[in-house]
Structure formats: structure tokens, C-alpha cells
């Protein structure tokens, strides 16, 4: 059933604090603030350094992350926003293109947690940004990907590999 609690893997631990960029589209300001609160709390809980930038809407989030990713300044990214269905098909465009943009960036190596809510109405958004803490969940996803990226990068350098015998 929607909103039922689900399994979350244990939070990774970091020898070196990751640096995370939060890109938020405060199209719905109160919703964005709840998402930010949850994401920042999760990042603080593992000692991650983080900063936040705002963009006009969800469609701009992938572009902003792409720009930041090319600077190699950040280990991971958290995308936060809220898309609420209106009268036209623009809802599908905003949802699908923002999500697809983030997926393409992820496949190119960016560690991104997607906290862009795609909902039918404001009440659905408020529950997901609040008690369901989707912002924290997006931050958690980004942190897992950062940990995985570091693990495989270190292994490829022979770091942490203990030869047998």
C-alpha cells in the first residue's frame, strides 16, 4: 500500500566526509523547505558537508547538477522538488524529463538521490515531504551511491585489497 514503510539498507560510514550539493526547485516553497530539512538532517547525521542551490523548477535540476558534476567539486547530489499535476500534459513533461535527466547523469557517474515529488495534489506532497521524509530518503540514496563509488574506486586502485596468503 502506498506510503507503507519499506526496507532501507543501513547507512554507510565514511572515513572522509563526503561533499554533497543539494539542488532544490522551490516551486512550492513550504514543500521544498520540508524536503530540505529532511535532506540536511540526514547529511548532518553522517557528517557530510553540504551546500544548497536553488533553480526555478524541476526541469532545471538535472542541468544544474550536470554543471556542478563537471566541476568535480562534489561527491554526490540531492535533487529536491515538487511537481503537482495541473490541467495540461505539462505535468508529464516535467516529471519524465527531470527524472530521465537525473537517470542519465547517474549513468554517467554522478551520485544522485532523487527527491523530486510527483503528485496529484498538494496534500500528497505535504505528507511525502513531511512525515514520509522523502528529502531524507533522497539524501540517503545519494550517500549510498557515494559510498559505493568510493568502494569500487579504491578497489580499482588496490586500496583495501588484501591478497590471499
Q: Assess contact for 14 and 43: CB atoms under 8 A.
A: no
127 binds ligand LW54GNZ2 (CB under 6 A): no
9 binds, among ligand LW54GNZ2, ligand LTPLIIQW, none (CB under 5 to 8 A by kind): none
Q: Residue 58 gets which letter from DSSP?
A: G
- CB neighbours (10 Å) of residue 94? 22
Q: Assess contact for 117 and 128: CB atoms under 8 A.
A: yes
Which one of 14-22, 43-51, 71-79, 82-90 is the stretch in contact with ligand LTPLIIQW (CB under 6 A)? 82-90
Q: What is the largest CA-CA distance in the chain?
A: 67
Q: Which residues contact 103 (CB under 8 A, 6 or more apart)?
A: none
Q: Which position among 6, 50, 90, 144 bears the catalytic label?
A: 90
The interface with ligand LW54GNZ2 within residues 16-55 (CB under 6 A) comprises 25, 27
Active-site residue, 90 included? yes
121 binds ligand LTPLIIQW (CB under 6 A): no
60 binds ligand LW54GNZ2 (CB under 6 A): yes
Q: How far are the Cα atoms of 14, 94, 130 from residue 151, in angstroms, in the given order? A: 10, 34, 32
14 binds ligand LTPLIIQW (CB under 6 A): no
Set of cell numbers at residue 161: 585489497
Set of cell numbers at residue 117: 515529488
Nearest distance in Å: CB 27, ligand LW54GNZ2: 4
59 binds ligand LW54GNZ2 (CB under 6 A): yes
Confirm whether residue 94 is marked as ligand binding: no
Beta-bridged to residue 82, according to DSSP, are 117
Binding-site residues sit at 27, 58-60, 82-84, 87-88, 114, 128
Catalytic machinery residues: 90
Amino acid at each position: 500500500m502506498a506510503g507503507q514503510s519499506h526496507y532501507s539498507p543501513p547507512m554507510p560510514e565514511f572515513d572522509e566526509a563526503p561533499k554533497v550539493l543539494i539542488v532544490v526547485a522551490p516551486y512550492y516553497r513550504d514543500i521544498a523547505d520540508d524536503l530540505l530539512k529532511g535532506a540536511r538532517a540526514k547529511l548532518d547525521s553522517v557528517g557530510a558537508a553540504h551546500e544548497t542551490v536553488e533553480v526555478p523548477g524541476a526541469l532545471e535540476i538535472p542541468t544544474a547538477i550536470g554543471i556542478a558534476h563537471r566541476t568535480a567539486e562534489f561527491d554526490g547530489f540531492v535533487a529536491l522538488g515538487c511537481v503537482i499535476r495541473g490541467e495540461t500534459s505539462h505535468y508529464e513533461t516535467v516529471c519524465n524529463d527531470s527524472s530521465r535527466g537525473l537517470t542519465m547523469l547517474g549513468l554517467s557517474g554522478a551520485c544522485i538521490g532523487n527527491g523530486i515529488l510527483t503528485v496529484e495534489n498538494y496534500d500528497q506532497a505535504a505528507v511525502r515531504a513531511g512525515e514520509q521524509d522523502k528529502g531524507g530518503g533522497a539524501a540517503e540514496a545519494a550517500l549510498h551511491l557515494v559510498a559505493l563509488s568510493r568502494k569500487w574506486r579504491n578497489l580499482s586502485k588496490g586500496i583495501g585489497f588484501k591478497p590471499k596468503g
